[in-house]
Copies of this chain bind each other. A is one copy, B any other.
Amino acid sequence: MIKILTGNIDFIESLRGKRATFMLALSNTKTTNIKGITQAGIPNMIHLTPTLDSEFVCTGEVRSLEGIAKTPKGVPTPALITRAVHLLKPYHAVELLNLGIEITPQISYFKQHTFDINSSDSIDTGANIDAETLFQKGVTFGQSYECQSDYIILGESVPSGTTTATATALALGYDAKEYFSSSFKEVPNSIREKTINLALKNIIDKNDLFDILGSVSDNMLIFNAGFILGLNNRIKVVLAGGTQMAGVLLIINSILEYMGGEIETSNLALCTTKWVAVDEQSNIKALLAMLSFPINAYYADFDFSLTQHPALKLYDEGEAKEGVGAGGALMYGFLNGLNQKEITAQVEEFLR
């Protein structure tokens, strides 16, 4: 079942039975190299997460890591959920947005959009992104993109992306410190806070919006803000993510304010997981309430209450929560007749 965060149910109900392109935005920020800041991946190999996630979603295999089991360890990546839905009710297409990753996914046949973008630096010393150029690349892509499906589900895999999203929102002046999610259950607030504070120090003298974004943000956030503005409501898009996707919307909001523009959002929505929606350590609704445009936002009412698998149970305890478009994937499954039991059983398969 799909539940409402903001707006009403009509937008998402009108997508019932429609075909979606699942688009996965991948980027690396060297912010991940700060010890203990994220658990979104294998220790010391966290930069590989977007690569491995996309390989798994597309092919069911993990290719860019040698000598390691195909199933992830510890807290399993939400890519399991995204892939499970694809096996049961396939997306019409899966496409990758390479927004600056260190290792290119070893995949053929799938469309990999490339934009000559490098992974960004750590925000504690300055992300060093040419934000205006990157944003413009997103706009151009949005203006020219031809969708073969009825709508786009836009997910992301960006390790430590909630940290960069928080820093971005604060740098843009949003009073949002307590509202961002984390892949941790017990959020490592001291490391995270220290990093964000260092990032904010770097922009004290900056006034230009893009200068600020280029210092504290990440490629996924900036590019997708451009992408959505470039689409100009031409194609239906579901932002499949939690507070990071809310971060994309906050950037759009600031850019519109900065440039004096407006956005039509009737074809835009956000859908996240229940783990984000009910999370007591973050507040996605509060983030969305900061926007000066209306937005339909939903969550997929799915949890792992039907499994006994200890690694999956960790989700219900607050670990991982979202990513790789899991909330949007679950929504797509529900809109196409799947139920929690079927999806759970398929995810369990991967961990056998």
Contacts and interface: CB of A to CB of B under 8 A. Distances in A.
Contact of A86 (B9, B17, B58, B91): B17
B13 A58 contact: yes
A113 interface: no
A10 B89 contact: no
Given A10-B58, A59-B9, A16 B90 contact: yes
A19 B60 CA distance: 20
A17 B337 CA distance: 15
Interface in A291-321: none
> What does DSSP make chain A's interface, helix, strand, loop or mixed?
loop
A232 B334 CA distance: 37
A16 B314 CA distance: 30
Interface string A7-21: 011110110111100
Interface residues of A, number: 30
A92 B17 contact: yes
A108 interface: yes
B17 A108 contact: no
B61 A109 contact: no
Interface in A6-57: 8-11, 13-14, 16-19
A91 B107 CA distance: 27
A50 B297 CA distance: 29
Interface of A: 8-11, 13-14, 16-19, 58-61, 86-94, 107-110, 335-337
15 contacts: A8-B108, A10-B107, A10-B108, A10-B109, A10-B110, A13-B110, A14-B109, A16-B86, A16-B87, A17-B19, A17-B93, A18-B93, A87-B337, A89-B337, A90-B336
Given A16-B94, A18-B93, A88-B337, 11 more contacts: A10-B107, A10-B110, A11-B109, A13-B58, A13-B60, A16-B86, A16-B87, A18-B92, A87-B337, A90-B335, A90-B337
